[in-house]
Amino acid sequence: MSRLWVERGVYRPRPARGLAGLPVPEIPEVSRGRFNIRDEDPVEAPFNWRQFRRLLGYLRPYRLHVAGAVVLMLVTAATRLAVPYLLKLAIDQVLDPSGPGALLPPAERLRLINLYGAAFLGINAVGLLAARGRILLSARVGQQALHDMRRQLFTHIQRLGFDFYDRRPVGKILVRLTNDVNALQDLLQNGLVNTISDLFMLLGIVGMMFYLHPGLAAATLVVLPALVILSTRLRRRIRRAWQAVRAKLANINAHLNESIQGIRVTQAFVQERNNIRFFRGMNHDNWRSWMAAAKASALFGPAVELTGAVGTAMVFWYGAHLLRTGALLVGDIVAFNTYVGQFWEPISRLGQFYTQLLVAMASSERIFEFLDARPDVADAPGARNMPPIQGRVRFEHVHFAYEPGRPVLHDIDFEVEPGQTIALVGHTGSGKTTITALLSRFYDPTEGRILIDGIDIRTVRLQSLRSQMAVVLQDTFLFQGTVADNIRYGRLDATDEEVEAAARAACAHDFIMAMENGYQTEVRERGSRLSIGQRQLISFARAFLADPRILILDEATSSIDTQTELLIQEALRRLLKGRTAFVVAHRLSTIRSADRILVLDHGRIVESGTHDELYARRGVYYRLLQAQYRHLAAPGGD
C-alpha cells in the first residue's frame, strides 16, 4: 500500500499489464467493510397502468398543445417519408439513362430536374417548420407539466406534519422534488409525442415499401423479428448494467460527501491511509461495473448494423432480380435502400422509450408516495378563524401517542390564566416537548381536547391559530439572507425600524451592529459565525416582532458562554411579559420565575405549583433539582 505514493497527498498511478499487454489500473487489495455501503439491487416492478394514467393526468390541461405537437410531428414524419419517394420519381422519370427520362428532350429534362430540386427543398422546408413548431409546443407542455407537478408537490409537503419530516432526511425529500421530477422530463416533453410519431413512421415505412413492391417489402422485413429481439433483450441487459453503474456511483458520491464532512475526524484520528484503501476498492468496483456496461452498450450498435445489412443485402439481391424481370425500376431500389436505412431509427427510439418509461415510473412512484401522504393535522371542514387570543389555555384529560400502543402523555389536565408563564420540567423523554407540540397543533391528541379561550383548537383554522402563537426552538434555524430578513420572518411586513426595535428588545442589537454589515450581514444556515446563543437571541427578536399571544419556548440546552447567557436571561424576561407562555425550561432562573411549574414524569403531571411550594414539598421536583444542579454548588463554602 505504502508504495503507492511517495509523499503525503500525492498519488501516482502504477498501471498493471492486462490483456495483450494493455495497461490497466492496478487491482487494489480487498478492503474490509469500513463504512456502511448498501448496494441497492435494481428491481423492476411490473408496469403500473393506473400510475401511468395518473402521470398522463399532468398533461391533461395542455391536451390541445399535445394534439398540436402530434399533428406537427406527423407532418415532419410524412415529409421524411416523402423524400425517398421523390428521389425515386426523379431517378425513374429523369435521371435513369435506361429509363423513360432518357427519351425526353434535354430542355424538358432540365426543367424536370429543377422542379424536383425545388420540390425537395419545399418538402424539407415544410418538415422543418413543422419540427420547429413541434419543439416549441412540446417544450411548453413538458416544462409546464413539470412546473405544475413541482408546485403541487412542494405545496403538498408544506402542508404535511412533523411526523412526515421526522422520518425522512432532508436529502431524500430534496431529491424527490428535484431529481425525480426532472427524470420525468424526457417522458413528458418528448417521449409521448415521439412515440406516436415513431409508430407512425414505422407504419409509413412499411406501407411505402409494400406500396412500392409487396414481395420485396416482405423479403426485406424478414430481419424485423431479429431487430425486435435485439432491441428488447440486449437493451434489457444494457439497462441493468447501467443501473448497477448508477448504484455504484451513488455510493461513491455518498462516501465522498461524507469523507469531506468528516475530514477533521479522519485527520485527528490519523485514518487517511485506511480511508484511501477503502476508497480505492470502491473506485475499482465502480470501474468494473462501468466497463461491463460499456461492453454491453458497445455491442448494441454493431448488432443492429449487422441486422440492417442483412436487409440491405436482401434489397440488393432480390431487388436486382426483380429489376431484371421489369417488376421494379432503379428508383425503387434506391428508395427501398433509403427506407431500410430509415427503419432502424424509430425502432431504436421505441426501445429507448421503454427504458424511459421504466425510469419515469420509478420516479413517479416516489413522487406519488409523497403526494399521497395525508397530513395528520388539517383544517376540519367548516373550520373558522381563531378570534384574537386572550391566552386562557386548558388541557382537558389529554392523552397522546405518536404510535398506537405507545402512549407518551397520560391524562394531562390543567388550566392556565392569560399572561401566566408555565415552566415544564422533567427528565428527557418525559413529554415536555410533546405538550407544546400539541398546543400549536402539530399533532392532535389521541383523547381529550385542548381549549384556547374556551375554543377547541381542532375547530379553528390552523393558519389563524399558529399566526397568533410563536415557537422559539432550541436550535435557531437561519434562512439564507440578511440578519434583518431573518428577524423579519416573525412578521413579513415589518419595517426596518420595527426590526431594529425587536432586536433591541431581544438584546441582539449590539452584537448585530458589531458584525461587518450590521443588519445587512448575510447569514446562512451553516457556516455563519453566529454562536448558538446569538442565534437564539435572533429567534427571540423574531418572536418579539411576531408579538404572539401565546409563546412556546424550548430553552437551549447547550452551554452558552456566560456573557450571552446574561443577555438571554434579560431578553427572556422581557419576552415573557404579558403573554401566556410555555417554557420547556432548563435554566433554574427561568424555572424559578415561572408562575407555575408542571413537573412531568413518564408522560404524567406528577407535581404542579410554584417553585417555593414544590420545593417545600420535597417531592419529585426537589429531587430533580437535587440531581441536576448539585454540581453548581460552591466548593468549600467560598
Partner 1 sequence: MSVFRHLRPYYGPYRLTLVLGIVSMALLTAVGLLRPFLVQQLIDRVITQGRYDLLPLLAAAVIGVALVRGVFNFGRQYFGELFGQNAVLELRNALYVKLQYLGFAYYDKAQTGNLMSRLTGDVEAFRMFLSFGIIYLCDFAFMIGFGLAAMLAISPELTLVTFAVSPYLAYVSYRFDRLVRPTFSRIRKALSDLTTTIQESISGVRTVKSFAREAHEIDKFEQRNLDYRDRNLDASRLWARYFPLLEMGGNLATALLLWYGGRLVAAGEISLGSLVAFFSLVGYMVWPIRELGWILNLYSQSVAAGERLVEVLHAPETVTNRQGAVPLGRARGHVRFEGVSFAYDGQNPVLQDIHLDAPPGSTIALVGTTGAGKSTLVSLIPRFYDVTAGRVLVDGYDVRDLELESLRRNIGFVLQETFLFSASVRENIAYGRPDASMDEIVAAARRAQAHDFIMELPRGYDTVVGERGLGLSGGQKQRIAIARALLMDPPILILDDATASVDMETEQKIQRALAEVMKGRTTFVIAHRISMLQQADEILVLDRGRIVERGRHEELLRRGGFYRRVYDIQFRDAAAAPVVSANGRYGRAPGKVLPLKPGREGSS
Interface with partner 1: number of residues (CB under 8 A): 188
**Residue 243 CB-density burial (10 A; 0-12 exposed, 13-18 middle, 19+ buried):** buried
Give the pairing type, strands 522-523 and 481-482: antiparallel
Sequence letter at residue 28: P
Sequence letter at residue 364: S
CB-CB contact of 469 with 440 (8 Å): yes
d(CA 45, CA 358): 9
Binding mask 104-123 for partner 1 (x = CB under 8 A): --x--xx--xx-xxx-xx--
CB-CB contact of 29 with 277 (8 Å): yes
What is the torsion angle, in degrees rounded to the nearest 10, for the CA atoms of residue 161, residue 167, residue 169 and residue 175?
-70
Q: What residues have CB less than 8 Å from 432, skipping those under 6 apart?
A: 424, 425, 426, 584, 600
> Candidates 65-73, 321-329, 382-390, 494-502 — which segment interacts with partner 1 by CB under 8 A?
321-329
281 binds partner 1 (CB under 8 A): no
128 binds partner 1 (CB under 8 A): yes
Q: How far is the CB of 564 from partner 1 (least distance, A)?
A: 7
DSSP state of 637: G
Give the nearer residue to partner 1 in terms of CB position, either 178 or 397.
178
Give the nearer residue to partner 1 in terms of CB position, either 413 or 510.
510
d(CA 242, CA 46): 19
Give the nearer residue to partner 1 in terms of CB position, either 198 or 554.
554
**What three-state secondary structure class fits 10?**
coil
Contact set for partner 1, span 434-453 (CB under 8 A): 440, 442
Give the pairing type, strands 23-24 and 455-456: unpaired
313 binds partner 1 (CB under 8 A): yes
Give the nearer residue to partner 1 in terms of CB position, either 49 or 516.
516
Q: How far is the CB of 545 from partner 1 (least distance, A)?
A: 10
Contact set for partner 1, span 356-375 (CB under 8 A): none
Of positions 48, 283, 482, 608, contacts partner 1 by CB under 8 A:
283
Give the nearer residue to partner 1 in terms of CB position, either 397 or 618.
618
Give the nearer residue to partner 1 in terms of CB position, either 253 or 520.
253
End-to-end CA distance of the chain: 60
608 binds partner 1 (CB under 8 A): no
Of positions 56, 89, 146, 378, contacts partner 1 by CB under 8 A:
146
Of positions 56, 89, 139, 362, contacts partner 1 by CB under 8 A:
139
Binding mask 477-516 for partner 1 (x = CB under 8 A): x-xx--------xx-x------------------------
Q: How far is the CB of 48 from partner 1 (least distance, A)?
A: 27
Could you give the angle at the alpha carbon of 492 between the alpha carbons of 489 and 498, nearest 5°?
A: 90
Of positions 143, 232, 495, 517, contacts partner 1 by CB under 8 A:
143
596 binds partner 1 (CB under 8 A): no
Nearest to 272 by CA among 259, 285, 257, 286: 259
Length of the chain: 638
Give the pairing type, strands 447-452 and 393-403: antiparallel
Contact set for partner 1, span 57-96 (CB under 8 A): 87, 90-91, 94-96
Contact set for partner 1, span 513-542 (CB under 8 A): 525, 527, 529, 531-534, 542
Where are the alpha helices (H) located in 27-105, listed in sequence order?
49-56, 63-90
Contact set for partner 1, span 188-247 (CB under 8 A): none
